[in-house]
């Protein structure tokens, strides 16, 4: 394992950050922990070109979301050093950065950090210091059938509160007739379900 401290990244920036460390002679091999979703699996396709360009071998550890969070949290909190680059999110980045478990990201002058959406940048920072870079971003949205809200006598406004959405879903919920008030993505687990 290298002498690098874990750098928390949304992987696209992780590879750029790793190349800086390699230029300083710190690593010839990097171990990267990622969640096994399609976006992250696609990132592995750059490994061969990256290795050819830098001489650095990338070792990918691809895990289910819950397993990744458990293993990366344990390794990072204890200073285990099993991973050089880790795939984490807005929940971990500012907390782990404040605790000193991960290093701040530093970009060269050619990279415009202000190009990141402010909400993403702020969510991955602690007290103005950026600890992770987004590989992709997610958002929550509500889609509903107007005929069902009208039949239940409820409304859902633009930018409504989650409490009102919950109340509307409860009012529309009629499982005896095959109507369910809400449908969320998911399998059980942190980050896998709403």
pLDDT band at 16 (very low <50, low <70, confident <90, very high): very low
The pLDDT of residue 19: 37
Averaged pLDDT score across all residues of the chain: 83
Q: Which domains does the chain have, with CATH numbers?
A: 7-130 (3.40.190.10), 146-177 (no CATH)
- Is residue 154 helix, strand or coil? coil
The pLDDT of residue 2: 37
Q: Which helix (H) or strand (E) holds 35?
A: strand 29-35
Q: Which residues contact 108 (CB under 8 A, 6 or more apart)?
A: 20
The pLDDT of residue 102: 93
CB-based contact 32:11 (threshold 8 Å): yes
* Pairwise CA distance, residues 14 & 135, whole Å: 9
pLDDT band at 26 (very low <50, low <70, confident <90, very high): low
pLDDT band at 65 (very low <50, low <70, confident <90, very high): confident
């Amino acid at each position: 394992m290298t002498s690098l401290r874990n750098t928390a990244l949304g992987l696209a920036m992780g590879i750029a950050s790793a190349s800086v460390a390699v230029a300083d002679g710190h690593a010839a091999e990097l171990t990267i922990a990622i969640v096994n979703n399609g976006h992250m699996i696609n990132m592995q396709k750059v490994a061969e070109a990256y290795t050819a360009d830098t001489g650095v071998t990338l070792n990918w550890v691809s895990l289910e979301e819950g397993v990744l969070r458990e293993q990366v949290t344990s390794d990072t909190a204890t200073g285990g050093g099993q991973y050089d680059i880790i795939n984490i999110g807005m929940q971990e980045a500012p907390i782990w950065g404040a605790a000193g478990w991960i290093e701040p990201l530093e970009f060269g002058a050619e990279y415009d950090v202000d190009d990141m959406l402010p909400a993403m940048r702020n969510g991955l920072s602690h007290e103005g210091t950026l600890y992770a870079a987004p590989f992709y971003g997610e958002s929550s949205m509500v889609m509903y059938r107007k005929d069902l809200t009208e039949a239940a006598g409820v409304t859902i406004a633009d930018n409504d509160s989650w409490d009102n959405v919950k109340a509307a879903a409860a009012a529309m919920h009629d499982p005896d007739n095959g109507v369910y008030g809400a449908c969320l993505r998911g399998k059980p687990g942190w980050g896998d379900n709403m």
